[in-house]
Structure 1
Amino acid sequence: MAGSGAESAGVKLIEWEDLQQELARLWSLSSALKKAKERKETLARKLESVIQERSEYLHQTNEIEEMRQKLEAQKLAMGDLLLRSKRTAENVKDQNEQLCFDIRLLLVASKMLSAAHQQLQEANKLLSGERGHGHLRNLQKMVHARQQDMVAQVSALYPVKASGEQSSGVKCDVNGTETGYAHPSNMSKPSQMSSFSILDLQLPALPLKKTSLFGDKKELQRSATALGYVAHAVLLIAAYLDVPLRYPLRFGGSRSYIHDYAPSTDLTSSDLASGSISVMGMTPKPAEFPLFLEGQDSTRATYAIFLLNKDIEQLLNYVGAQSLGPKHVLPNLKELMRIILAKEYIAM
C-alpha cells in the first residue's frame, strides 16, 4: 500500500542497493551542473567583452568614417585652394612681367626726361646769355624803332588830317574839337569820309556815283591823286612792317590798281579763251580794280576802295588794333600811323 501511494504521488522509490549508485549519479550531475554554471558565467563574461569590443569597434568605425568625410572635404578645399593658388601665381607672374616692362619703359622715359631736362637747361643758358631772349627783345625794339622812324617819314610825306586839325600832335574830331591821341577803341568814328584829307586832298564819298561824260575832270583827278597817295602810303608801311598784303597793289600814282585773287562766280567762254583762267588747275588770275574814277565803272572803283581799306584793316590787325569801319579809309590810315608812332609800339 505504501509503495503504491508513493508512486501515485510521483516519488520514485529507490532500493537500498541502488542508493549508492543514485547518489554517485546525483553527485556527478551536481558537479556537471556547477561546471555548466561556471562555463555559462565564463561565456557570459566573454560575450559581454565581445559585445563591448564590438561596440567600441563600431564607434571607432563611425569616427573613422567621419574623419574620412572630413578628409575628403579638406582634400576638395585643398584642391580648390591649390587651383586658386595656381591662378594667383600665374597672375603674379603676368603682373611681374608687366611690372618689368613698365620699369623698362620708366627707365627709358627717365633717360629721355633727363636728356630733355639737360636740353632745357642748355636752352635756358642760351636764353639767359648774351645772345638770348634779352638780345632778341633788344633787336625787336631796334626793329620797331626803325619801323617807327620810317613810318614817321611816310606820315610826314603823306599827312592825314581831320578838318580843322592844326598839328600832327593833336587830333580833332569831325566837329573840330581837340581830342588828343586816343586808343582805337576810344577814337570817335567820323560821320563823313570828307572830314579827313591826305595832303589836303579828300577821297570821294562812298558809294561812288556814276560819272557822266561831262563830269568835273579836275575833281576826278584830285580823287585819283588822293587814292594814289593812300595806296603808296599803304605799300610803304606794309613793306616796312614786312606784311604781305592780302590784296596786292600795283602802284601807278593816280592810275593805281588793286588785285583781288577771289575766283569769279561767272566763268564765261571768253574768259577761257582769253587765258585769264588756267583750264587745268582752275587757278584764276587776279582781277584788277582801278583806284580812280575817270573812264571807269563806279562799281569797280568803289570795290577797289573797299579792298584798299581791307589792306589797311589787315595792317591794323597786325599791330593789335581794329578797323573803324569799311568806309573810313583815311581815319583807319591815320589811326595806323598813330599807333606805330606811339611810344608803346617800341615795347610791343
Structure 2
Amino acid sequence: MEQIRKVSSGTDVPDQDNEKVIEWEDFEHDLARLVSLSSALNEAKEKKRSLRQKLEDHIQVNSESLSRLNELEEMRQKLESKKVKMENISMRSRIAKENASKKKEQLGVEVESLLVAGTALSVSRRRLQESSRLLFEEKGYIQLRKLQKMLRMRQQCMTSQVSMLYPVKISVGPAQEQELESYPAGSLAGNSAGLKQANQGSLTILGLHLTMLSFKKMSFFTDKKEIQKSATALGYVAHAVSLIASYLHVPLRYPVRLGGSHSYIIDNAPSMDVTSSDSSSSAMSTANTKHMEFPLFLDGQDTTRAAYAVFLLNKDLEQLLNSIGAKSLGPSHVLANLRELSRIIQSSTFIDSMI
C-alpha cells in the first residue's frame, strides 16, 4: 500500500486534485476491467476493420453491378434498334417480294405480247422478202414503174381539172396593183416571151384580181368591191390548194377551212400574238386543240390577221412546190406560185421524175 502511494507520489502530476488512489484490493478488479476493456477495444477495432473491408467490397460490388446494369441497358437499346431495323427490312423485303411478283406477272404478259409480235414480225418479214423478190425481178420493177406512171398521170389529170376549174391567167393591160412584181428568169414559161408577157399584165384567177395592197393598208376610201373580189380570189386559191394537196398526198402544214369568200387558214402552233377588234375575225380555239384560225378576207379595219393568213397560204403553196422538187417564187406571189405548181405538175418532167 505504501509502495503504491510512493509510486503515485513519485510521479510528476501537475494537477494534484485529479489523482486517484486505487486500493490494492480494487487494483486487480480494475486491472481485469482494463484488460477486458482493452480486449473489447481490440475486438471493436477488428470488427471495424472487417466491417470496413466488407463495406468496401459491397461498394465495389454495387459499382460493378451498376456498370453492368448500364451495359445491359445499352445492349437492350441496341437490341431494340436492331429489332426496329429488322422489322423495317422485313417490311421492305415483303414489299419488294410483292413488287417482284407484280413485275413477274407484267413480264409474263410482255413476253406473251413479244411472242405475238415476233410471230407477226416473222410473217411480215416473209411478206417483205417475197415483195422484194418480186420487185427485184424484171416484171416486178416494170409493174412498179407502170403503177407509178399511172399514179402520176392520174395526179396530172386531177390537177388539170383543178386548173380548168380555177384558171390562173395573165390579164394583158395596165394594172394599178399587181400581185406579181417580177419573176426569176425562165421560172414560169421558160422563155423570154412568157416572162415579158407576165411583166406586162397581172395574174387573175377565174377573172378576179388578187389585190395585195388592201391587205397591207386599209383606209376609208378603199373600194369595198375590190376587197370582196380579193377575198373571193383567196377562197378560190384555198380550195385549189386543198384539192392539189389531197391529190399529191401531202398533209398541209397549215390546213384550210373552206368557206368560199370567208375561208380560214389554221395555224396549229402560232408564233405571233395577233389581236383583232372585231369578234368575227378573232381567234377560234377549241377546248381539245390549241390552234388559231386566221381569216382569208378583210372584215373590219384590222389587216394584220388577213395579211398573216395570206402569208400562211403562200407557205402551203411553197410546201407543195418543195414536195415536187420546185422552189417558191416569193412570199407575196400567191397566184404565181399556184400557176407554177399547176404548170410543173402538168409538164412531162413530172412523170419523168418518178422514183
Band the TM-score falls in, shorter-chain normalisation: 0.5 to 0.7
Q: Residue 134 of structure 1 corresponds to which residue in structure 2?
A: 142
Does the 8 A contact of 2:264 with 2:293 survive in 1?
yes
Which residue number in structure 1 is paired with residue 328 of structure 2?
323
Q: Could you say if the C-alpha distance between residues 182 and 202 of structure 1 is closer, same or farther in structure 2, counting changes exceeding 3 Å? A: same
Other-structure match for 2:189: 181
TM-score between both structures, scaled by the size of structure 1: 0.52
SS at 1:211 equivalent:
coil
1:142-164 per-position Cα deviation (integer Å, ceiling 9, x unaligned): 00000000000001111111233
Structure-1 separation of matches of 2:228 and 2:284: 33
SS in 1 for 2:329: coil
SS of structure 2 residue aligned to 1:163:
strand
Alpha-carbon shift at residue 215 of structure 1 (Å): 3.7
Offset of 1:284 from its aligned partner? 6.1
- Per-residue deviation at 1:212? 4.1
Q: Does 1:202 align with 2:209?
A: yes
Within the alignment, does 1:303 sit opposite 2:308 as a pair?
yes
Aligned residues: 212
Alignment of 1:209-288 (within 5 A): 209-212=216-219, 215-264=222-271, 276=285, 285-288=290-293
Which amino acid in 2 is paired with 1:211? M
Residue 114 of structure 1 aligns with which residue?
Answer: none
Aligned residue type for 1:304: A
2:265 alignment partner, SS class:
strand
Does the CA-based 8 Å contact 2:188-2:195 persist in structure 1? no
Task: Summarize the Cα distance change of 1:302–1:120 in structure 2 as closer, same or farther, 3 Å threshold.
Answer: closer
Q: Which has the larger radius of gyration?
A: 1
Instruction: Please state if 1:148 is matched with 2:159.
Output: no
* Residue of structure 1 equivalent to 2:343: 338
* Identity score, percent: 58
CA distance, structure 1, for counterparts of residue 212 and residue 230 of structure 2? 10
Is the alpha carbon distance of 1:222 and 1:275 closer, same or farther for their aligned partners in structure 2, counting shifts above 3 Å?
closer
SS where residue 162 of structure 1 aligns?
strand
State the alpha-carbon separation in 2 of the partners of residues 267 and 325 from structure 1: 23
Q: Is the CA contact 1:323–1:332 (under 8 Å) kept in the aligned structure 2?
A: yes
SS of 2:135's equivalent in the other structure is helix
Structure 2: how far apart are the matches of 1:181 and 1:307? 26
Question: Which segments of 5 or more consecutive residues in structure 2 lack a partner in the other structure?
Answer: 1-126, 174-179, 276-282
Question: CA 1:220–1:318 in structure 2 vs 1: closer, same or farther (change >3 Å)?
Answer: same
Judged with a 3 Å threshold, the aligned counterparts in structure 2 of structure 1 residues 266 and 258 are, in CA distance, closer, same or farther, namely closer
Q: CA deviation at 1:261?
A: 1.5
1:315 Cα deviation from its structure 2 partner: 0.3
Shift of residue 126, structure 1, vs aligned partner: 1.6
Q: Would the aligned equivalents of 1:249 and 1:258 in 2 still touch at CA under 8 Å?
A: yes
Q: Where does structure 1 lack aligned partners over 5 or more consecutive residues?
A: 1-118, 166-171, 269-273
Residue pair 1:189, 1:324 contacting (<8 A) in 2 also: no
For 1:307, the aligned partner's letter is: L
Cα shift at 1:277: 8.1
